[in-house]
Amino acid sequence: MGRFGVRLMMCDECERILLDWTSAPTNDARASSVSLLTLAESHTQSCPECASRSADLARLHAALDQLRDSTSQMEAPAQVETNLLAAFRQSTTRNASFIGINLGKLL
Ligand SMILES: [Zn+2]
């Protein structure tokens, strides 16, 4: 994959950065990895698989944010988030959409 002469980010690396960033507990933690995130985002722009994975991850976190808003309980959603991220990490790019499809059940 990839074009010559461009700093290519591996898909694994991109995925790890996206996961680390979206699961960072505070804005400060997120800010510290913004430059990495920029690299990851430029990777997703040229890699359809990572783009789709990134979109799944964004959906997952949007759903978790809604859950937090609706429950106003931090602990239960935090556990759900941990479980979801664990499931997401174990999923391959090919079945990443499984998480999105089953998000309602998992929540
Ligand atoms: Zn990729």
The sign of the dihedral angle between the CA atoms of 43, 11, 19, 64 is positive
- Expressed in angstroms and rounded, the spacing between residue 91 Cα and the centre of ligand 1 is 15
- Expressed in angstroms and rounded, the spacing between residue 29 Cα and the centre of ligand 1 is 24
> For the segment 71-104, what is each residue's pLDDT rounded down to a tens digit?
766 566 677 777 777 777 776 555 555 555 555 5
- Expressed in angstroms and rounded, the spacing between residue 5 Cα and the centre of ligand 1 is 17
Domain ranges of the chain: 11-106
- Expressed in angstroms and rounded, the spacing between residue 54 Cα and the centre of ligand 1 is 10
Q: How far is CA 97 from CA 16, 54, 57, 61, in A?
A: 17, 11, 10, 14
pTM over 0.85: no
- Expressed in angstroms and rounded, the spacing between residue 69 Cα and the centre of ligand 1 is 32
